[in-house]
Chain A
């Protein structure tokens, strides 16, 4: 009982319970074959797509900020790669670096505004979201005359970023997702930098007074979210041999839902990478796994909405539990 209570106080608790709940609904109401579901690639591919961005967004949200410009950065990354290497035919490396540089620059811009102004980052990144959509659409029309650009990736780039694993239907991007999650897990939960990020999310002023370079960390986190979104876009352009201006807009909310279901507190200071990881899986199973059930897929959004509300409710409860945890009795 004590073990369970300790487990429930962890930030990942709500996401694990959500996952179990969703699977239970799918099995009981949808008659899903779990073996078939776990063997399927569709939801894992989707989880990887949103997961690579959800992990850094989770870090950013733990630090008390938010970035919604990621929604424009996925297509921006895809289009940059496709325009440089597809339309102009430059070597792949320029397309790949181009996408990452565009991501980095937008992240720097967001981060700079975030630390230099008192405007909430929701508004700042809403601005860059819309602005980047404009730049990507207008830029693409201007340079290529179209809103969709084909791309024939070189074999090495294809192998690294856009291939199917072992000739099956799992994409190589899944490995990138696992790598990103592992690296960020180490940074967040094992290194001292994770402590800094928790402290920034808990109380910026105290964190600064304790000698933490709050502004530099904040800018860095914005660069990471934005660059990771551009990275996902780049991978997709290589995977599907083309890039569209409109792709990736839904991802903003899907990514933020995954992070919140993963137990990250919107006000900052609390959350975990394992939680975000499980939250992403849960979201992907709801969204793509519904095809394996007898349930009409149009219900998926209802489930996601309910799950979000329940998860947020659970997060609140668990946070209170964590705070009120009584000291262990001696003797």
Chain B
């Protein structure tokens, strides 16, 4: 795997906003057909890192490489043209547009001549439906349906299929499973796996360790802007990862304290998640 240069690589990247350092000394590599899970609690700098990767921010210091060559993105469009595609929590699509129309926003297929060029609805619908079905979402078969009528998982799948169709090589998934139920989330995880099989480099951002473990090959934990851990699949247990994400504190101790302090109190969601076997 390491014979070829990584599709995307960060070398000692810092990002500061004025005097505030948000990212410090981040070095990461993602190869083709590899899923990097980026874990971190809220405020750890995950979104800043994503925005740096997809061209919204430029790194204050450090280098960004694609296929071993240094790249600079001045705007999101540059990153997209280089093949970096970001899919946001809610799919980043247009709820009141049809599947076919939203799939081709900005790159509409047309037919006809001169000023009478028309949007080719049939082709657009057919391609969009085919692209989603190739990812195993066979429930989508009508390109005229509105995106807002799809389930959360289907929307994510549509957005991922769209990115892949338009030649994405690096897929950044920003908490794709955060708002989804168990079944929907497993759909999305399957699609992440499919994207990986097709040789994409996937950066999967999440704070759900279970989901990360299900698809990840490589894990990075971000704590207060620093890379606190960087390890391969199987090197750490679920509990260790959860503890890392919580800022290195021992979750078990924290839970014991909460339980001891007030048994009436509902345990917070993250403590509950950690308490599961």
Contact = CB atoms under 8 A, between A and B. Distances in A.
Contact of A191 (B104, B105, B119, B146): B119
B26 to A, nearest CB: 23
Interface of A: 186, 190-192, 194-196, 198-199, 201-203, 206-212, 265, 269-270, 319, 322-328, 330
Nearest to A210: B106
Given A323-B95, A327-B142, 6 more contacts: A195-B108, A269-B94, A269-B96, A323-B96, A327-B139, A328-B142
B92 interface: yes
B122 interface: no
B92 A203 contact: yes
B80 A323 contact: no
B80 A209 contact: yes
B141 A206 contact: no
Chain B interface residue bracket vs A: 20 to 34
A322 B149 contact: yes
A198 B149 contact: no
A208 B77 CA distance: 9
Contacts of A212: 105-106
B102 interface: yes
Given A195-B119, A202-B95, A206-B92, A325 B105 contact: no
Given A195-B108, A199-B106, A322-B149, A328 B141 contact: yes
Nearest to B110: A192
A222 B80 CA distance: 30
A270 B96 contact: yes
Contacts of A209: 76-77, 80
The prevalent SS among residues of B at the interface is loop
A211 B96 contact: no
B248 interface: no
A202 B155 CA distance: 15
A149 B140 CA distance: 62
The 3 closest A-B pairs by CB, nearest first: A202-B94, A210-B106, A192-B108
Nearest to B79: A209
A194 B119 CA distance: 9
B139 A206 contact: no
Contacts of A186: 116
B148 to A, nearest CB: 4
A199 B148 contact: no
Interface in B87-128: 92-97, 101-102, 104-108, 110, 116-119
Nearest to A330: B141
Contact of B148 (A195, A206, A323, A330): A323
A198 B105 CA distance: 9
A195 B98 CA distance: 10
Contacts of B104: 195
B145 interface: yes
A207 B106 CA distance: 8
B113 to A, nearest CB: 12
Contacts of A194: 119
B94 A206 contact: yes
Most chain-A CB neighbours within 10 Å: which of B102, B106, B145?
A: B106
